[in-house]
Amino acid sequence: MTIGNVTNSFSLQSSLTALANNEQQLKTTEQQLSTGKSVNSPSDNATAFYASQNFLQQANDLASLKDNLATSLATVNSTTSSISDVTQVVQQLQGITAQAAGTTDTTTRANLATQYNALLPQLDQLVNDATFNGTNLINNTSTSLTVNFNANNTSGVTIPSVNVTSSGLNITSVSNGFATTADINAANSQLQSALSTLNANAASFGDNATLIQTNQDFTSNLINNLQTASDNLTLADTNQEAASLLALQAQNQLSVASLGISGQLSQAVLKLF
């Protein structure tokens, strides 16, 4: 008896197909659980994948902007701190003039004048050392700090430098040893004017620091929102995926069992020949 081509029975073929489909679903579910994402490539969901990538790209661009804002803020805060240090030196100078005004002894006044003059180079050195990240905003008026508030650099603020050296503050050295009250009063007048200038400068830099901080916070929130938008498009529900994995594993076991039964039936039929 000649037997033609032997093909798989319908039940066996169905079991094989179900097993193959189940294996593919298992692979997909395991990948989603391992990555935490339901969309890992354009083949999963092209629209969601590319929209998610776009959100992430915007977030990355803003992350660089946020870093620049942080550096700019640190520069401005450092400048404000340096102005505070200069203010303390000017207040020391005021203390010296107060001592000079409290005595009539010419020798004491002359010694105080020497101390006064010795502080001026120290003030200048302090100002010239106030460089942060290569920028000094208090030893000249020809420098500026440009701070951008968006990734396109179309909005921001330019912070001009100031000169709070002794010459910039118009504080001159004492030439005649505080010999007269008029000399002391003249020095005091310079110091009062210098303090007013320093206070105004500190307030201006403080306002700019607040502005930068506000934009830094805004940028941080925007980055978080973009990352959340990206996650909403691609993240998987791990609880649901875990449940699906258990169900698929059970189905896989059933498919294997069904395949075994179908194979046994086919063998039983063959034994009839």
What would the pLDDT profile of 27-39 be if each residue is shown by its tens digit?
555 555 555 565 6
pLDDT band of residue 13 (cuts 50, 70, 90) is: low
Does one domain contain both 155 and 271? no
CA separation for the pair 94, 185 (Å, rounded): 11
159 burial via Cβ count (<10 Å: 0-12, 13-18, 19+) = buried
pLDDT of residue 5: 47
pLDDT of 105 strictly over 80:
yes
- Are 241 and 228 members of one domain? no
Whether 174 maps to a domain, the answer reads: yes
Asked if residue 270 and residue 187 are part of one domain, the reply reads no
Distance CA 235, CA 39 (A): 7
Q: Are residues 73 and 172 in the same domain?
A: yes
Do 228 and 241 belong to one domain? Answer: no
Q: Say how many domains are in the chain.
A: 2
pLDDT of residue 257: 55
Q: Assess whether 164 and 80 both reside in one domain.
A: yes
Give tens-digit pLDDT for 124-157. 999 999 999 999 999 999 999 999 998 888 899 9
Residue 187's pLDDT is: 96
Helix axes 10-35, 238-270, angle to 10 degrees: 160
Amino acid at 64: S
- Exposed, middle or buried, 269 (CB in 10 Å: 0-12/13-18/19+)? exposed
pLDDT at 6: 44
Say if residues 25 and 252 touch (Cβ distance below 8 Å).
Answer: no
114/121 Cα distance (integer angstroms): 12
Q: What is the pLDDT of residues 43-68, one digit of tens each?
A: 667 887 788 788 888 888 888 899 99
Mean pLDDT, all residues of the chain: 81
Q: What is the pLDDT of residue 188?
A: 96
pLDDT confidence band for 114 (50 / 70 / 90): very high
The verdict on 84 and 123 lying in the same domain is yes
Structural domain boundaries enclosing 75: 46-233
Bigger pLDDT: 164 vs 30? 164
Percent of the chain at pLDDT > 90 equals 54
**The two structure tokens encoding residue 146:** 């440009």
pLDDT digits over 199-217, tens only? 999 999 999 999 999 999 9
Rounded CA separation 87/196 (Å): 10
Residues 204 and 95 in one domain: yes
Rg (CA), the chain: 39
Whether residue 52 contacts residue 230, with contact meaning beta carbons closer than 8 Å, is answered with yes
CA distance 199 to 93: 16
User: Does residue 22 have a pLDDT over 80?
Assistant: no
> Concatenated DSSP letters for 16-72?
HHHHHHHHHHHHHHHHHHHHSBS--STTT-HHHHHHHHHHHHHHHHHHHHHHHHHHH
Cα 252–chain centre separation = 48
Whether pTM > 0.75 for this model: the answer is no
